[in-house]
Amino acid sequence: MGPSTPASHVSCPCKPQEKEIDVKALVIKKAKKTCSCTPAKAKDLIFSFFPVLQWLPKYKLKEYILGDVMSGLIVGILLVPQSIAYSLLAGQEPIYGLYTSFFASIIYFLFGTSRHISVGIFGVLCLMVGQVVDREVQRLLCDKSCYAIVVGSTLTFIAGVYQVRGEGVGFVSVYLSDSLLSGFVTGASFTILTSQAKYLLGLDIPRSNGIGSLITTWINIFKNIHKSNICDLITSGWEIWGWFRVKWF
């Protein structure tokens, strides 16, 4: 090149700058499209948080009301004794079991997506909460009732935070085999039966925690079986006999 056309004055297109401009424009376009608010999008957003607003106006009152009232009464009758029993598993006062069953159903009514589900407490979770409550309360000198609900509420809140953070990982349950689920249900049944055996016999024995707690509990039961309450034993035997008769005959 001659002196009249120095290399520093030569202009050439730069492809990286064009790509950067294109990406920037694409991001701005996507952001405008995503952040735009229309009545239809606002309606869908509200319905996603409150599905009850979508299906409740379509509720056929004359067709569904009788069956729903009967179902609600049956579920309520079953939940009362179940809630009281499971509250003992969780180491709480019986009234908290009733609170849990009542308010959980109302919350699911507003935010749930199924009209036919019954939301309540679960025996295995109550047993796990009870183990944590017993472990923490043993460190204090005050009465159990003054601190048990604080431990249970804190544990529930932390578990809820983890569930919110882990949203969308429920698909993992699809890969769980039937044998694994059956084993879990069977083990949970034996664990709950063991935790309730002392109440069936009217025994006052300490709750065992940790590895081998199932065996330790039965050892303590057989050591103190001569102290069984006759009234509790007769009532429990009568209820179990009635349950088997209704189920199998």
Per-residue pLDDT for 41 more than 60? Answer: yes
Q: What is the pLDDT of residue 168?
A: 66
For residue 66 the two structure tokens come to 């009788």
**Whole-prediction pTM value?**
0.62
Give the pLDDT confidence of 171-216 residue by residue, as tens digits: 777 787 888 888 888 888 888 788 788 888 888 887 777 777 788 8
User: What does the alpha-carbon distance between residue 176 and residue 157 come to, in Å, rounded to a whole number?
Assistant: 27
Q: Give the range among 3-12, 20-29, 72-81, 222-231 with minimum mean pLDDT.
A: 3-12
Per-residue pLDDT for 147 more than 70? Answer: yes
Percent of the chain with pLDDT over 70: 85
Per-residue pLDDT for 227 more than 60? Answer: yes
Q: What is the pLDDT of residue 19?
A: 47
CA 185, chain centre distance (Å) = 16
Asked whether the beta carbons of 205 and 224 are under 8 A apart, the reply is yes
For residue 34 the two structure tokens come to 């995503």
User: What does the alpha-carbon distance between residue 124 and residue 141 come to, in Å, rounded to a whole number?
Assistant: 28
Start-to-end C-alpha separation, the chain: 106
Q: What is the pLDDT of residue 18?
A: 46
- Nearest CA to 107 among 171, 160, 170, 149? 160
User: Is the sign of the CA dihedral 162, 168, 171, 172 positive or negative?
Assistant: negative
Asked whether the beta carbons of 133 and 153 are under 8 A apart, the reply is no
What's the chain look like in SS3?
CCCCCCHHHCCCCCHHHHHHHHHHHHHHHHHHHHHCCCHHHHHHHHHHHCCHHHHCCCCCHHHHHHHHHHHHHHHHHHHHHHHHHHHHHCCCCHHHHHHHHHHHHHHHHHHCCCCCCCCCCCHHHHHHHHHHHHHHHCCCCCCHHHCHHHHHHHHHHHHHHHHHHCCCHHHHHHHCCHHHHHHHHHHHHHHHHHHHHHHHHCCCCCCCCCCCHHHHHHHHHHHCHHHCCHHHHHHHHHHHHHHHHHHHC
